[in-house]
Amino acid sequence: MPKKKKKRVVLTEEERLLVMQQKLLAEEELHKKKEDMLAQFLKDKLAKEERNSVLNMHKINLQWRTVLREVKARELHKDIEILSQTFERVVDCKDSVIRSLAKDLAEAEAQYAHALRSHLHNIDKLLELQQCRLGYLGEDYKTELEALQKEFETERKMIIENHEQEIRYLQDVLLAMDQNFNDSDYEARLDFQSTRDDVKNKVWNLEEKHYLRMQLEGKVEELWKRFQQALRNYTEATEDRKLAFEALKLRDEKSTKEIEMQMKKLQRLQELIILLKNKIAVHARESEEQNRRIRDDKEVVLKQLQKLKSQMNRARAKARSNLAKLSRESNGTLKVLERVVEKAELILRLAEMCRRLESEEEKVLPFYASSLSWDEQKAVNKVTLEKPVEPLAQMMQDYVGLERFWQRYNKVRLEQLSLERTKEALLQDNLKLKNLLKQYLDGISVNDEVLSQINPLMIINQHPITLAPPQPVSVTDSQIKRPIYNVVEAAHEVKRIL
């Protein structure tokens, strides 16, 4: 079947405008979608790149940290090795110091033990002397106590015997007094009876007398009764007082005797106390003197001990300072020796390098021949064999072994000076040649700078203008003698050294 042909629809102007607007809107939407998609793609790509950059940065940082850790570990290992060596050296120094201090401490302890033993021995001797003295004093006290006891017993016996004798004497006296009293009483009674009888005989016959006698007798009887009554009353009233008086009298007599005895005892005790006080004072003076001597000895011993301690402390301080000074000096000496060893190693390396650079002639004849004649050399040898007198000559005698060294050093020094002079001459020649070359180049070139200066190749109605430099010394002049040097390539020498 044939295809049906579509009929072309004719659109109006408004419809075309609408269609165009729709197309434009669709294109704008499509363009917006594309921009949005592109922006989203770029955002995703940027985020991905940022993630990748962050990840790569982390990887780089990780690798860099690993490298830094390795470098830091190597540095720390080196530092640890250096610190371990330093620590071992310090520990060795400390061990040596500790050993020396332990040795000093042992010596100090031995000295202290010796001083303590001697001090204790002296104290034991003093104690023995004090014990002996106390023993002697105790024996003296016992003997004096026994003597006092014996003296007291003998004196007591004597006092008792004297007392008994006095009692017997008093009893005899009382007995004699009683007898005398009785005799006198009897005589008085006899006198009274005789007088009475006489009176009776005289007035017996007289009545008046009888009457008087009766009155008198009555009065006498009355008085006698009254007297008897008074006597009885007095006796009854004073019986108790009389008994008390008798008792007090007896007690007074006893007290008097006891007081006399006690006074005698007190006197003897006072004498004994005075004697004992004198002995105690003597012993106290002796003991005080001995104590003073002991204290003086103790102070002397303490002073000696303090002096020994101070000497020991000063010796320790001096030994410690000497040890510190020795350690400092030893460290300084070690450093100086290390520098000397380094310098010697450098000298040996330089000598080896110089040995390689020596010529055959220098290897065969390292020392130059002496310029002295035979007589002069003989005189020098004779002077050398003589014993030096001056201090400087004596010091130089110790450095005779360095004569060969100084010969080679002087030879090298002379060659150095010769090379320096040759170098100066060559520098002068080089400078002159540079001036001549500059003049030649200025002469063959034409420019404002050259024209403004004197040109030796230009002629201005005169002779050629030439500079008058000083006569140069030709390098190839046969009159100047220069030493011949062996030239060695630096590359070969570096290969040999390395």
Give Cβ neighbours of residue 159 (< 8 Å, ≥ 6 apart): 261, 264
CA distance 491 to 498: 10
Q: How high is the pLDDT of residue 429?
A: 92
Residue recorded with tokens 């303490």: 302
**Residue of 457, 459, 432, 430 lying closest to 442 (CA atoms):** 457
Q: How high is the pLDDT of residue 393?
A: 67
Q: How high is the pLDDT of residue 454?
A: 59
CA distance 431 to 439: 12
Give Cβ neighbours of residue 14 (< 8 Å, ≥ 6 apart): none
CB 137 within 8 A of CB 290: no
Q: How high is the pLDDT of residue 207?
A: 64
Q: For the chain, give the longest Cα–Cα distance.
A: 252
CB 210 within 8 A of CB 203: yes
Region of residue 461 (left: phi > 0; alpha: psi -120 to 50; beta: else): left
**Residue of 433, 455, 452, 431 lying closest to 442 (CA atoms):** 455
CB 456 within 8 A of CB 443: yes
CA distance 79 to 101: 31
Q: How high is the pLDDT of residue 368?
A: 62
Polymer length of the chain: 498
CA distance 47 to 40: 10
Whether the model clears a pTM of 0.75, i.e. scores above it, the answer is: no
Ranges in the chain, pLDDT < 50: 1-7, 457-482, 485, 487-495, 497-498
CB 425 within 8 A of CB 480: yes
- Classify each residue of 464-483 as buried b or exposed e, where b means 16 or more C-beta atoms within 10 Å of its C-beta: eeeeeeeeeeeeeeeeeeee
Give Cβ neighbours of residue 404 (< 8 Å, ≥ 6 apart): 367
